[in-house]
Structure 1
Amino acid sequence: MKPSKLYSNRPAEFVAIEFEPELNVVLAEIRLPENRDRDTHNLGKTTLGRLLDFGFLAGRDAKFFLFKHLDRFEEFVFFLEIELLDRSYVTVRRSVAEASKIAFKKHAARHQDFSTLPDLEWDHVDVPFARAKELLDSLLDWRALKPWHYRKGLGYFLRSQEDFRNVFQLRKFANLHADWKPFLAHILGFDAELITQHYEKENELKEAEQKATTIRQELGGEIEDAGKIDGLLLLKRQEVARKQELLDAFDFRSQDKADTKQLVDQVDARIAALNQRRYSLTQNRKKIIASLEEDQILFNPEDASELFREAGVLFSGQIKRDFQQLISFNKAITDERRGYLVEERAEIDAELKTINTELNTLGKRRSEMLAFLSSTDSFAKYKHLSGELVTLRADIESLARQREFVHRLQQLRTDIRTLSEEKMHLQAAIEADVETKNADDESLFSRIRLFFNEIVEDVIDQKALLSVVVNQYGHLDFRAELLDDAGNATSADRGFSYKKLLCIAFDLALLRAHLDEAFPRFAFHDGVFESLDDRKKENLLAVIRRYTALGIQSIITLIDSDLPPRENEDRVFDETEVIIVLHDEGDRGRLFKMGAW
């Protein structure tokens, strides 16, 4: 349930760290004046959390410092001793060179050194990585996390600096919400199965909708009515049967009769109608062209002025001016009329083009039908009918494929309606569950939110609210907010120092609420006092001590400049609480007794 010891096969370069059951302080002292204003010091206080995660079998990441600087760490083998629920211990051995081969040994006494223990004396050796995680999961036996794996929520209890940016969404939870929200809901006391089912149903619904969209695209705007397709298939098949009978009987009289009727009733009638329409359009087009050519004003006011002057009539400019106004008025009307005429001519040209195309098609069809009717060669007619039969059967095959698509589309629409209804029922169930747990003062979530507020209020004398709501999509939204005196949310939690405090409060409240269950009982918090004023540091330290007294192991890291001040050279921490002191006076002050990387 708690880390007990971390050591390696190279003690000269990595000194063993023995953890106490309660408070453990990793103190970094900045002794050189030139380093006091630096933001980072690379002493290793943050690295300790990463090593603990490595011992808890974190997956291999090329960016992880052990693998990124393999030339420095390839020879290292790390050992993590963990206290279990029954007060026994298990030691996990993991090398850097063969990080996917793990060894385990259970033992009764704490703070052992198995760095030189032969393989024969280990309980399990060279266990493959996936199997090793399952084995460690069973040894830890954190039943309160089930059905999730022990590593799922480990980030809440091994908070790195990157994990202080969001109270709920850890850095490793950067992927889909469906991957972490059900787990978080579970450890907060909500019905995670409902939430998991809702995400699954949502995914099924999205897949069905995507398939329906794909089918509509494949249909390409063709008929989506299965009834209409079935009707067309019926007619096409009837026509195929009739033509097949003619071919089988080698008797084309009924086909001649049918073609004659079609030629007279349909083809010739349509050709005549189109010719009449083409004639009418052609006449209208000629009139429009003539109107466009005639729309010119031939009157010249200058010539008229000269004519009146020679005739001795007083002109005085008035008549000329009136004629110019008249011409301008006529020109405006003429321009507007020309626009309408040009537009009408374009429409006529487009319709004539369509008519000519259709007439060409009908003319070809008429010629083929006449050739068939006038032909006395039965084999030629047989060949012609056979071609039509092939075309009809191709049409039937195309319609049959189209019908399959349409039937599939109809089935998908039914599935979509069913999935939508099921999703709505799940959302209603989630809302009911959240409402019930919120209203129940004895629920796990109510206890967590009370502990959370108590921690924050003890540290900064301000109330804090932990809340869970269901949004419009049926998903849970988790919120951690500071409240003003009127109970309204403030923006104070947006600052990094207060955001870190909310994260620490959440982790501790979570651990305390699960003290009676098989649940982790430790928390690692990096840079715990950064950016807090001295009084708030004292308050937070008091909270941490109170929680360690309850049985929660706390591992905190800090820089000496972040320590709250003391009078008379009193120490902030007891000597037993400070498990390691780091400093900047050479390589021996680092976590790894070697140069920075």
Structure 2
Amino acid sequence: MKIVQIYSNKKEFKDVHFNEHLNIILGEVKDKKNTETDSHNLGKSTLISLIDFCLLKGKSDNLFLFKNYELFIDFIFFIELKKDDNNFVTIRRAVENNTKICIKFHERPNQNYKENLYWDYENLALNATEKSENPRHIVTEFFSLEFHEKYDLRKLLGYFLRTQYDYDEVFKLRKYSGKLIDWKPALLDLIGFKGNLLGNKLALFNQIEVTKEYLKKMKLELSVTDFESDVINSLIDAKITDKQKIEEQINSFDFYKTEREINRSLVEEIESEISRLNSIEYRLTFEITKIKDALSRKLMFDLDKIEKILSEVNIYFPNQVKKKYEQLVEFNQVITQERNKYQESTLLKKNDELEKVRENLKKYNEQRMEKLSALQEEDSFTKYKKYQQQIIEIDVEINQLLNKLEHIDIIKTINKNLDKLKKDYEAATEKLLVHLEEPNQTYIKIKNFFRELVQYILNESSIIYFNVNKEKNPDFHAEFVNVDETKITSQSDGYSYKKMLCVCFDLAVLMTYSKSNFYHFVYHDGTFESMSDMRKIKYLQAVRHVSKKYDIQYIFTALTDDIPRDSNNQTIQFEETEIALVLDDRPDDLGRLFSKRF
């Protein structure tokens, strides 16, 4: 992939045509006496941001187009890209409807589609979920870019569009401020390792952290721990024993003590029946209460909560954990439905039976009141009711303890999953560490090219290497070493030297992939700044040589004042074809990229 040109529907914008190899974007300060002139606002750095936008970057409110939205609302931009001599693609993207993308494939370069009405793809949604309608996917597949099965054209593009803010780290770009899993596996792929091994390890780590948090929340919500089951079983046994004792007292209770001899046989008959009916009534009431309580109980955990907590797990294991919880929920639901069906039927029968018992009780009580004026049974009856209430309370406590046992089973299931994840994580870590020690020809090539470039440009020895950090993840470094190459120096901490390390790494990667379907361009912003003339000349010679030998399109920006002078104090000259664009600070602002300040 190379950039052929970038242009706009507005004449205020300076169209830019790039050549196949070395391209310089020059900024010239014409009025050096004017202290208010701004050589850093000509558009040199703006152009790299615009190219990034045209290459389907997501909308950012910090981009100059949207920070100055009213100034650019009517602008439409076109970028033409080259695959080979017979295959080109033009991407159209407007500022106003910036998420609608048009794509045109063509066989000849330097086309002008400002007025074009027919596009191969028109108004594609930038973030379309369907791959066949996603512009990033379509462009990626057109170029058959290396790693296209894993990543779209945006994933690794940052290494080849370096702004002045992207030289702080060689391997970690400024945009990689998110989680390690979002960028480091791709870096490993880029330099010849198997990024999926690190990705798998990081995904398992994220899963473990999410599961730990979920376990913590469930323990708090369910108020149990997984080691309480024996305690709870012992409590249930004790409660059952207590209930049996109370039932024995009820069964042997004497309801027939009387203080008077008034038609004893009749009284015994009535009282016996009332006592029997009272026992039946309380038994039925108790059973109905239990049935209603059982019918009102619901599943104690919420799958939506679980899905929300486990959302990060879906990166590498979209169904594994969720399925286990869904199966648990489904099993409980089936059992609950069958139980409820049976209990609803039983409840109707019990209610009918209770109604008949109460009708008979009413009848016998009326008879008793007629036959007896006083009967010393109030104390006995009160005790009976007290025991019956105790049985109800014990049953409630038993049910609560049974619920806790169910909750403990949930906690145990989560702990088992956590233990498995930890074992999988240990295995994934070991697999990654073994792989990092295996021969890697791509990595060796990149390291060798990098060393050659740094040696030529800076006359310094340097190395790329990695170490394994305390999380067992590889950290990559680019450093200078002393003459005998046994000790790393702090020279690489200097900004201009670190910038050149970034430049050499990017070029080393492109040199390694020069025969592959990959990016064949790189844009480095402000590389001349803070360098000595000797190093600038060496750098310029290196990029000229590399761009031609490896067919790499090299674009960089510089101020005319930063162009180096040779040993004869003569300004180094560029070939006319090497100057892609000249910008300046003339008072009318027509020399700026957009012919205006903003």
TM over 0.5: yes
Query: Can you list the C-alpha shifts for 1:496-533, whole angstroms capped at 9, x where unaligned?
Result: 11111111111111111112221111000001111111
Residues 226 and 412 in structure 2, CA contact (< 8 A), matched pair in contact too? no
Please list, as runs of the form range in 1=range in 2, the aligned pairs for 1:166-565 lying within 5 A after superposition: 166-218=169-221, 224-241=227-244, 243-244=246-247, 247=250, 249=251, 251=253, 377-437=379-439, 440=440, 443-487=441-485, 488-549=487-548, 550-565=550-565
Higher helix share: 1
Report SS of the residue matched to 1:422: helix
Whole-Å separation in 2 of the counterparts to 1:236 and 1:561: 92
More deviation, 527-536/126-135: 126-135
Q: Residue 397 and residue 40 in structure 1: after superposition, are their counterparts in 2 closer, same or farther (change >3 A)?
A: farther
Quote the residue 1:102 is aligned against: 101
| SS of residue matched to 1:143 | coil
CA distance, structure 2, for counterparts of residue 242 and residue 27 of structure 1: 99
> Aligned partners of 2:210 and 2:248: how far apart in 1?
48
CA contact (8 A) 2:193 2:436 kept: yes
Distance of 2:159 and 2:62 partners within structure 1: 21
In structure 2, the residue matched to 1:128 is 125
Q: From the superposition, tell whether residues 163 and 39 of structure 1 become closer, same or farther in structure 2 (CA, over 3 Å).
A: farther
The question of whether the paired residues in 1 share the 8 Å contact of 2:226 and 2:409 is answered with: no
Q: TM-score, normalised by structure 1?
A: 0.74
- Give 1:569 shift: 5.0
Report the alpha carbon displacement of residue 406 of structure 1 after superposing the two structures with TM: 2.5
Secondary structure, counterpart of 1:205 in structure 2 = helix
Q: CA deviation at 1:38?
A: 7.6
Q: 1:240 to 1:207 in 2, by over 3 A?
A: farther
CA distance in 2, matches of 1:223, 1:113: 70
SS in 2 for 1:144: coil
SS of 1:194's equivalent in the other structure is helix
Q: What is the TM-score normalised by the length of structure 2? A: 0.74
Give me the whole-angstrom Cα distance separating, in 1, the residues matched to 2:377 and 2:224: 41
Matched to 2:563, the amino acid is L
What displacement does 1:93 show? 0.8
Cross-structure match for 1:328? none
| Contact 2:37 2:585 (C-alpha < 8 Å) held by counterparts | no
Alignment partners' CA distance in 2, 1:510 and 1:47: 25
> 2:254 & 2:459 partners in 1: Cα distance?
103
| CA separation of 1:14 and 1:520: change in aligned 2, threshold 3 A | same
Contact 1:85/1:140, CA 8 A, preserved across alignment: no
The gaps in structure 1 that reach 5 residues or longer are 254-373
Alignment partners' CA distance in 1, 2:467 and 2:402: 50
Unaligned runs of 5+ in 2: 128-133, 256-375
Question: Which has more radius of gyration?
Answer: 1
What displacement does 1:143 show?
3.0
Maintained 8 Å contact 2:481/2:489: yes
* Deviation for aligned residue 1:568: 7.9
Compared CA separation, residues 449 and 87, structure 1 to 2 (3 A): farther
Q: Distance in 2 between matches of 1:421 and 1:533?
A: 54
| Counterpart residue number, 1:301 | none
Distance in 1 of aligned mates of 2:514 and 2:381 = 96
Aligned-residue offset at 1:387: 1.8
- Secondary structure in 2 matching 1:554: strand
How far off its partner does 1:252 sit? 7.2
Contact residue 563 and residue 571 of structure 2 kept, 8 A? no
Deviates more, 1:138-147 or 1:188-197: 138-147
In 1, the alpha carbon distance for the partners of 2:226 and 2:563 equals 76
Checking the alignment, whether the CA contact within 8 Å between 1:481 and 1:493 is kept in structure 2 is yes
Amino acid paired to 2:122: V
Read off the aligned partner of 1:214 and give its amino acid letter.
K
Distance in 2 of aligned mates of 1:241 and 1:160 = 81
The sequence identity of aligned pairs, in percent, is 31
